Amino acid sequence: MSPLVTFLVIGIGSALGGLARYGCGLLAAALWGALFPWGTILINLIGSFVIGGFATLTGPDGRVYVSPLGRQFVMVGLCGGYTTFSAFSLETLELLQHGRPLAAAANIALSLLFGLLAVWLGHVIAQRANL
């Protein structure tokens, strides 16, 4: 596959992922307010779950065949563009700047806990589906 096509496919996936992140962020802020970054936590949880499940389901031992380009579209494009480490970092800094070190620590702990638990859960569920 030409490198240009790969770039284009990843760009389209990232654009769609980024737009979904923007929409989910607006929805989360409308539902739960902006006092605590629940939106980013949830976005990173969902994206981690999807990449964990998809990687195992379409991997070498997976039951679903997806072309290398298709895998890059979903994993590098969609999931990569949807999830974010920069918003997580900035929102933690903002909590610290507003004199809320406990909320900042909670944001770090919950983001890591949910993100890592979600990628593992996605992997385990896909592993069972592969059997």
Partner 1 sequence: MTAPLWVGLGSALGGMARYAFSGFVARRIGEIFPWGTLLVNISGAFVIGLAAAAVAPGGALPGDLTVRQLVMIGLCGGYTTFSSFSLQTLALARGGDWPRALGNIVASVGLCLIAVWAGFALGALIPEG
Map the footprint of partner 1 across residues 11-70, applying CB under 8 A. Answer: 11-19, 21-22, 25, 43-44, 47-48, 50-52, 55
Which residue, 36 or 42, is less far from partner 1 as judged by CB? 42
Number of CB atoms found within 10 A of residue 20's CB: 16
CB 93 within 8 A of CB 40: no
The piece of 30-38, 60-68, 110-118 that touches partner 1 (CB under 8 A) is: 110-118
Calculate Rg over the CA atoms of the chain.
Answer: 16
Instruction: Select from 119, 120, 50 the least CA-distant residue to 82.
Output: 50
User: Which residues contact partner 1 by CB under 8 A?
Assistant: 6-7, 10-19, 21-22, 25, 43-44, 47-48, 50-52, 55, 72, 75-77, 79-90, 92-94, 108, 111-112, 115-116, 118-120, 123
